[in-house]
Amino acid sequence: MAAPRGSNTRPAIPADQSLARGLLGEGPAGDDGVMEAESLNGRLLAATPLLGDPNFRRTVVLVVEDDADEGTLGVVLNRPTDVPLDQVLEAWTELVTGPPVVFRGGPVSPNSALALALARAGDEPLGWRSLAGSPMMARVGLVDLEAPPELLAGGITSLRVFAGYAGWGAGQLRAEIAEGAWYVLAGEPADAFIADPARLWPEVLRRQGGDLALIATYPDDPVLN
């Protein structure tokens, strides 16, 4: 299932197309004209100021599955809701990393839940599966919420639960990257469990340095600048 596309609103700031070209590489073109690329598993997608879709505006998405034929699945990391986790998944409350609420993972299947957890070094607890593709993010993995929480309790240090997810059909995400909707960045394990989610978008851009560090200061509403 595909996530909603961005709006046609275009603030007066250029997208960094060099990032898209670096990601897309020099491989053969797909049906949509976008170059084929390596897997995006474990990478961050930071919305550029060009992306006006309210579902994704100023979001940071962690890619958890990326397949050339099946499409891409990710979770928005910086959209907490007001719903306490103990109202929906009480058994997992003691393991969750604050704030102890459900996060809005994306517009697809909002009534479903998935969870991410950070495994202790050297551990692969039962009910946990590492994200493939990025060595830096190898300790972050998906959690089987059907498993008893006590199976993971000793093997993880952080946990976060998301309602819904972001999804793109085959080739759709790479087309959006080429259009300038997303910056593709390396993630750090702590990004998925940041205590103050409102800081995540500017922080991941700022630590890149250069032009992206400047974009981190771009006003939320450019009309008010």
Give dist(CA 208, CA 61) in Å, integer.
16
pLDDT at 222: 58
Contact (Cβ atoms closer than 8 angstroms) between residue 180 and residue 133: no
Mean pLDDT per block of 10 residues along the chain (225 residues) reads 35 32 31 54 96 96 96 98 97 96 98 97 92 88 96 96 98 97 97 97 97 91 55
Pairing label, strands 80-84, 140-143: unpaired
pLDDT at 156: 97
pTM for the predicted model, two decimal places:
0.84
Burial class (CB in 10 A: 0-12, 13-18, 19+), 90: exposed
Contact (Cβ atoms closer than 8 angstroms) between residue 165 and residue 74: yes
